[in-house]
Chain A
C-alpha cells in the first residue's frame, strides 16, 4: 500500500522534472547558439551599425526601432551587444584556457608526484584557493596594468585554484579505482596505466568544467570592467558597455541593465549546459 502510494506520484513528478530539465537544456543551447552566431557573423543578427551615430535619437529607451534602446550618441545598443559578443567570448575562452592549463599542471602534480612535491603543490593550491577570485584578479591587474590581455590572465589565474582542486580529486579517484589496481596487477607499465586509464578518466569531466568556466570567466571579466579595469570604452565588448553605461544610470537604466542581463543570461545558459554534461558523464560512469 505505502509502496504504491510513494511510487505513483514520484513517477509522475519525475517525468515533469525531466521535462522541465529538458526545456532548460534546449533553452540554454538556443541561447548559446545565438551568441555563437553573433560572434562569427554579427552582421546577420544586428539591426543597425554598431558605430553609426544618430544624435537626434540619443538616450532613447527600448522600442521597436531600437530593441535595447540607444546610448548617448544615439548608437543602437542591441547591435553594439551583438558586435561585442566576439571580444567578450574571446576573453571568456582565453581566460578558461589559461585557467584550465594551470589547473591541469598543478592538479596532476598534486595528485601524481612524489609525496613531498605533491604535498607542497597541494599547499600552494590551498593557499591560492583561500583568496577570493576577484582579489587575486585585482592583484594581477595592479601588477600588469589594465588591458584585455590582463583580463584574460587575471581571470584565468584567479579561477584556476578551484579547478585545480577538482582535477586533483578526479585523478586521485581514478588512481584508487579498481581498474587501475587491475592494470597494476596485470603488470602494465606506469606510463601505460597513466595514458590508458588515469588520463582519459580524469580528463572527461573537463568538458563540463570548461563549459561552466567560460560563463563564469565572462562574469569575472565583466566585474573587472565594471570597476573600470577592462577594455577601453570605445569597444563594444560587454564589460566596456557596462562601464560606459554606469555614467548614465539615473537617465538611461537600459545602458547598464541590459548588458548585465546579457552577461547573466550567457552565464546561466553555460552553467545549465555544463551541469547537464556533468550529469550525463556521471550516468555513463555508473
Chain B
C-alpha cells in the first residue's frame, strides 16, 4: 500500500517535471516566433515597396498596381495583429512564409540545405567531447603545473574566433600539407576540418566547466575506495570521475547545438561548404527576412529539442535526479 502511494507520488512528480519542461519549451518557441515576426514587421519603410526593391536590387518608386499585388500576396494590408496570428498559425503547420528573393517557400529553401549543416553540427559535438575528455583526463589533477597548462589551453581555445582557427587549419592542413580538400569536398574528407574548427573552441569551453568538477571528484571517497580495490589511475578517471563531472558539459552540449549551427555560418564561408549558414549569410546580405527569421525559428526549435534530450540524458547519468 505504502509502496503504491510512493510510486504514485513519484509518478506525479515526474509528470509535473515533464509538464514544466514542456511549458518552458513552448514559451521559448513562442518567444522566438514573436521576435521573428517583429523583425519582419520592423523593416524600415513601406514593406511592399521594400520587398519589391529587395527583389529588384534597386530603390525605385513603385506603382500602386505593383504594390497591390505584393500586398495581396503577403497580406500586408491586414492589421498587424491579424498578420501576427496568421504567422503563428502558419508556423504550427510548418509554414515559414515565402522568400522575398527566391519566390519559394522558406521551408523548401532551408530543407534543401539542412542535411549538411546537421551532419556538421553533430560531428562537431562528438569531436568536441572526444577532445575534451582526452584533454581533461590527461591534464586535470596532475600537479599544479600540468593542470595549469591544461586550464590555460582551455581558456585560450575557448576564446578563438571560428574564422581565424578555420583559416589556420585550412592553410596548414589543406593548402600546406594537402591532407584535405581546399574547397567543399564530399564525405568525411571534406567534413573533418570544418568540424574540427567548430569543435576546438567548444572543447575548450566544455573543458573549463568539466575540469573543476573533475578535480573535485578526484578528492571524493569513492575514488579512494576504487583505488583500494586495485583499480588503475586511468580506469578510475574514466569509469568513476568522468561520470561525476560530465553533467555541466552535458548541459552545455544542449546550448552548443544552437551555437554550433550559428558557428556553421562562419565555417561554411571559410571552407566554401553548402548548408544553412550559407543560406543565412546570403539572406542577411539581401535582407531576405523570411529566410533569416525562418533559420532563427528553426534553430530555436532545435535548441528546445536538444535541451529536452539533455534533460533525459541527465537522468540516465545521475539517477538521483528522478526523485527531485
Q: Is the CB of B148 within 8 A of A17?
A: yes
- Inter-chain contacts of A229 with B (CB < 8 A): 284-285
Instruction: Select which of B43, B261, B300 is within 8 A of A143 by beta carbon.
Output: B43
CB nearest neighbor in A for B269: A227
* Complex Cα spacing A60 to B31, Å: 52
Instruction: Select which of A10, A145, A219 is within 8 A of B159 by beta carbon.
Output: A219
Report B270-298 CB contacts with A as 1/0, cut-off 8 Å: 00000000001101110111001101100
Number of residues on chain A facing chain B (CB within 8 A): 44
CB nearest neighbor in A for B261: A132
The answer to whether the Cβ of B175 comes within 8 Å of any Cβ in the partner chain is yes
> Which B residues, 215 to 254, have Cβ-Cβ distances below 8 Å to chain A?
none
Q: Is the CB of B300 within 8 A of A13?
A: no
Q: Is the CB of A271 within 8 A of B159?
A: yes
The answer to whether the Cβ of A131 comes within 8 Å of any Cβ in the partner chain is yes
* Complex Cα spacing A239 to B281, Å: 16
CB nearest neighbor in A for B43: A143
Q: Is the CB of A127 within 8 A of B284?
A: no
Instruction: Select which of B43, B160, B171, B287 is within 8 A of A253 by beta carbon.
Output: B171
Of A105-113, A170-178, A203-211, A254-262, the one touching chain B? A254-262
The answer to whether the Cβ of B203 comes within 8 Å of any Cβ in the partner chain is no
Most chain B beta carbons < 10 A, residue from A131, A260, A261, A268: A131
The answer to whether the Cβ of B6 comes within 8 Å of any Cβ in the partner chain is no
CB nearest neighbor in A for B284: A142
CB distance from A237 to the nearest CB of B (A): 15
Q: Is the CB of A138 within 8 A of B280?
A: yes
Q: Is the CB of B31 within 8 A of A127?
A: yes
* Complex Cα spacing A219 to B284, Å: 19
Report B283-324 CB contacts with A as 1/0, cut-off 8 Å: 111011100110110011001100000000000000000000
CB nearest neighbor in B for A259: B164
Report B32-61 CB contacts with A as 1/0, cut-off 8 Å: 100100010011000000000000000000
CB distance from B217 to the nearest CB of A (A): 19
- Inter-chain contacts of B162 with A (CB < 8 A): 223
Instruction: Select which of B155, B171, B266, B300 is within 8 A of A131 by beta carbon.
Output: B300
Q: Is the CB of A142 within 8 A of B265?
A: no
The answer to whether the Cβ of A222 comes within 8 Å of any Cβ in the partner chain is yes
The answer to whether the Cβ of B70 comes within 8 Å of any Cβ in the partner chain is no
- Inter-chain contacts of A242 with B (CB < 8 A): 163
CB distance from B47 to the nearest CB of A (A): 12
CB nearest neighbor in B for A222: B161
Q: Is the CB of B161 within 8 A of A130?
A: no
The answer to whether the Cβ of A226 comes within 8 Å of any Cβ in the partner chain is yes
Q: Is the CB of B28 within 8 A of A127?
A: yes
The answer to whether the Cβ of B262 comes within 8 Å of any Cβ in the partner chain is yes
* Complex Cα spacing A267 to B157, Å: 12
Q: Is the CB of A132 within 8 A of B269?
A: no
CB nearest neighbor in A for B280: A138
* Complex Cα spacing A218 to B72, Å: 43
The answer to whether the Cβ of B67 comes within 8 Å of any Cβ in the partner chain is no
CB nearest neighbor in B for A135: B262
> Which B residues, 149 to 191, have Cβ-Cβ distances below 8 Å to chain A?
155-156, 159-164, 167-168, 170-171, 175, 182
Q: Is the CB of A141 within 8 A of B31?
A: no
The interface of chain A, by Cβ under 8 A from chain B, is 10, 13-14, 16-17, 20, 123-124, 126-127, 130-135, 138-143, 145-146, 219, 222-223, 226-229, 242, 249-250, 253, 256-257, 260-261, 263-264, 267-268, 271
11 cross-chain CB contacts under 8 A = A123-B31, A130-B258, A130-B300, A131-B258, A132-B259, A132-B263, A134-B263, A138-B284, A143-B39, A227-B269, A229-B285
The interface of chain B, by Cβ under 8 A from chain A, is 27-28, 31-32, 35, 39, 42-43, 143-145, 148, 155-156, 159-164, 167-168, 170-171, 175, 182, 258-259, 261-263, 265-266, 269, 280-281, 283-285, 287-289, 292-293, 295-296, 299-300, 303-304
